[in-house]
Chain A
Amino acid sequence: DQQVKQNSPSLSVQEGRISILNCDYTNSMFDYFLWYKKYPAEGPTFLISISSIKDKNEDGRFTVFLNKSAKHLSLHIVPSQPGDSAVYFCAASYDGSSNTGKLIFGQGTTLQVKP
């Protein structure tokens, strides 16, 4: 049972345009969501997060939107740069003794930004 899903395995955009990466979740207990970027042979790098009490969080070129009713979140990168080419993982968590220290990850979306 995959609780966090990234249905698009890959995405290709032109440099300077907007990249939109999507993520859906099924567990209504999730109250914290994160995005990570991963290059080959490296560990995931934390990008941005959002609490379920918010519907938007911005950090520079990165914005995450959360739609709780649809159990959907998205990461917008504007403008996209070739250095953004990587695998992007969506992750979720909830506050509870049975879930300490555990992030549940989607399968990832490979973003390619073309010069």
Chain B
Amino acid sequence: KAGVTQTPRYLIKTRGQQVTLSCSPISGHRSVSWYQQTPGQGLQFLFEYFSETQRNKGNFPGRFSGRQFSNSRSEMNVSTLELGDSALYLCASSWQGPPYEQYFGPGTRLTVT
């Protein structure tokens, strides 16, 4: 089976711009979770989507949003970028319910200048 794929792998944006990141889960996985990794905060949960519905959301401002399509592919969007949004954004897919193993993509490295 192909793993989780994320595009693009690297992105450089300017403060105030917006960005859209894409994630394709493992075939058959319907749950997609997004995480932000920074050196200071570690891996922080952003949100989770299942069957096109956001089921859970982490403690991030409303500038961070996402969606899921009928084929389980997911996108996340960050509007009005700030310097502090520079991070590695990771997408993970999993089967519904337990076990809770999540399988991660390679991530998108976002740099905001």
Contact = CB atoms under 8 A, between A and B. Distances in A.
User: Which of B94, B97, B98, B105 has most chain A Cβ within 10 Å?
Assistant: B98
Contacts of A108: 42
Interface string A78-115: 00000000000101010101111111111110000000
A45 B107 CA distance: 12
A99 B56 contact: yes
Interface of B: 4, 6, 31-33, 42-43, 45, 47-50, 55-56, 58, 90, 92, 94, 97-107, 109
| A interface: dominant SS | mixed
Contacts of B104: 36, 43-46
Interface residues of A, number: 27
A110 to B, nearest CB: 12
B4 A43 contact: yes
